[in-house]
Amino acid sequence: MVFFNKIFYNDKELRYIKEAIESSKISGDGLFSKKVQNLLEKKFKAKKILLVTSASAALDMAAILINLELDDEVIMPSFTFVSTANSVLLRGAKPVFVDIESENLNIDVDSIEEKINSKTKAIIPVHYAGHSCDMDKLVQIAKKHNLRVIEDAAQSVNAKYKDKFLGTIGDIGCYSFHETKNYTCGEGGALVLNNEFFFERAEIVREKGTNRSKFFRGEIDKYTWIDVGSSFVLSDILAAFLLAQLERMDEVLNRRKEIYNTYYEGLKNLEKRGVLKLPKIPHYSSSNYHIFYILLNTEKQRDKLMNFLKKREIQALFHYIPLHESPMGKKLGYKKGDLPVTEKISRTILRLPLHLRLSKDEIYYIIDSIYEFFTSTRR
Ligand SMILES: *Cc1c(COP(=O)(O)O)cnc(C)c1O
């Protein structure tokens, strides 16, 4: 079976975890958490990075930090994971969905402005597949209308827009270290703060609404409840696993790039024949090669190809059910037909296996199987 995703680790992860446990500080903000935060801040030239329990948690914190309130509106794509919208809904605010671009599956920046009104508080661009949104244009719109920008960079750790790392461009960035992402500790994430305005309050919200971080630094002699918050701190055991993953960050990126390019070169002729479309990385974007997807011409053909590959023991998957078409999206007043590009993409996309334990033979087997699908019978 060729699995869609497989985690990669070696002795280092295990050695670091053992060290974390033996230090007997296994809650958050221990030695390994500090090392990870420093490594990320330095590499990404970020003002402040805090490890949290997931990208969902980072998004929830971001929604608190920008003071989202009842009936506020936040603009985001519908083609995203549920957490982007949940963070807004949990504050009593409303996600306002806009369409994506068919070229790169990121938010269609040109359709943002028409959705802005007096209730709009923020924009949440999602950098899909590790490919950057058009950030200069987006930030300019946000500035013009005095809106906050929260980057959902869950999939885009170590990817760039021009010379800036994703997550470090808006007011706040959110990273994921979930098992399915490029760098992982099972469940984990980080909050990137690009504006000093948020530093102090972020520390408090992350520590259940208390000033415990100040207490641990010896700045105050007891800590107390001073704001809303929750338990957002990542365990140092997980940070230890994560440090080992991040210390080979660029090696992982380069190996993913090789796989991505092998697929791209291998499938180019099928694109020329017009039976499928390959992803296009925008000129301003340096990808981390999180996802390799193909776009089929119809939903029927996508489903047929997916089943064909399944019979050949290749796990290929699709996502997302557009948020505006989901049961929850319908409750919010959206309906099928509202966002045509998103709907078309979600019905025709197919994601191919991409992980470090994929062998060259397996990649060629997948490419050959796709050719066979298109040549064996008329479809
Ligand atoms: C994976 C993902 C998330 C959620 O990440 P978790 O760390 O699992 O909470 C949020 N947004 C996007 C776009 C994602 O791909």
State whether 31 and 149 are in the same domain: yes
pLDDT > 90? residue 379 = no
End of a domain among 246, 266, 290? 246
In this prediction the pTM is 0.97
pLDDT for position 376: 80
State whether 232 and 295 are in the same domain: no
pLDDT, tens digit, for every residue of 75-131? Answer: 999 999 999 999 999 999 999 999 999 999 999 999 999 999 999 999 999 999 999
Cβ pair 104, 128 in contact under 8 A: yes
State whether 289 and 347 are in the same domain: yes
Tokens of 245: 């993953």
- Amino acid in the structure at residue 190: A
**In Å, how far are 68, 106, 179, 217, 309 from 351, measured between CA atoms?**
34, 16, 17, 46, 12
pLDDT, tens digit, for every residue of 30-75? Answer: 999 999 999 999 999 999 999 999 999 999 999 999 999 999 999 9
Residue 139 forms part of a structural domain: yes
- What is the tally of structural domains in the chain? 2
State whether 355 and 273 are in the same domain: yes
Closest ligand 1 atom number to CA of residue 176: 7
Residue 263 forms part of a structural domain: yes
State whether 93 and 141 are in the same domain: yes
For residue 7, which phi and psi values (nearest 5 degrees)?
-80, 155
Give residue 377 CA to ligand 1 midpoint distance, Å: 38
183 Cβ below 6 A of ligand 1: no
* Concatenated DSSP letters of 56-83: HHHHHHHHHHTT--TT-EEEEESSS-HH
Catalytic residue annotation: 181
Residue 92 forms part of a structural domain: yes
State whether 292 and 213 are in the same domain: no
- Mean pLDDT calculated for residue range 216-232: 95
Query: Pocket of ligand 1, candidates 52, 80, 151, 155: which has the most ligand atoms within 8 Å of its Cβ, to mutate?
Result: 155
Q: Give the Cα separation of 82 and 64 in Å (integer).
A: 17
Residue 2 forms part of a structural domain: no
Cβ pair 89, 95 in contact under 8 A: yes
pLDDT > 70? residue 378 = no
81 Cβ below 6 A of ligand 1: yes
Closest ligand 1 atom number to CA of residue 177: 7
3 state SS of 21: helix
What does pLDDT average to over the chain?
97
State whether 103 and 171 are in the same domain: yes
State whether 287 and 160 are in the same domain: no
State whether 74 and 173 are in the same domain: yes
State whether 237 and 255 are in the same domain: no
Sign of the dihedral through C-alpha 338, 300, 326, 103: negative
Give residue 83 CA to ligand 1 midpoint distance, Å: 6
238 Cβ below 6 A of ligand 1: no
Provide the β-strand partners of residue 100: 107
176 Cβ below 6 A of ligand 1: yes
178 Cβ below 6 A of ligand 1: yes
Closest ligand 1 atom number to CA of residue 83: 10
Neighbouring C-beta atoms of residue 26, cutoff 10 Å: 17
pLDDT for position 377: 62
- Mean pLDDT calculated for residue range 316-322: 94
Residue 6 forms part of a structural domain: no
Q: Whose CA is nearest to atom 8 of ligand 1?
A: 178
184 Cβ below 6 A of ligand 1: no
Residue 33 forms part of a structural domain: yes
CATH number for the domain that contains residue 23: 3.40.640.10
For residue 234, which phi and psi values (nearest 5 degrees)?
-85, 140
Residue 1 forms part of a structural domain: no
Q: Which of 63, 80, 70, 196 is nearest to 127 (CA)?
A: 80
Residue with the two structure tokens 């957002």: 232
End of a domain among 199, 226, 246? 246
Closest ligand 1 atom number to CA of residue 126: 13
Burial 166-184 (b: 16+ CB within 10 A, else e): bbbbbbbbbbbbbeebbbb
Q: What's the domain range around 312?
A: 249-375
Burial 243-277 (b: 16+ CB within 10 A, else e): bbbbebbeebbebbeebbebbeebbeebeeeebbb
CATH number for the domain that contains residue 348: 3.90.1150.10
Residue 175 forms part of a structural domain: yes
State whether 50 and 20 are in the same domain: yes
State whether 50 and 179 are in the same domain: yes
125 Cβ below 6 A of ligand 1: no
End of a domain among 246, 278, 296? 246
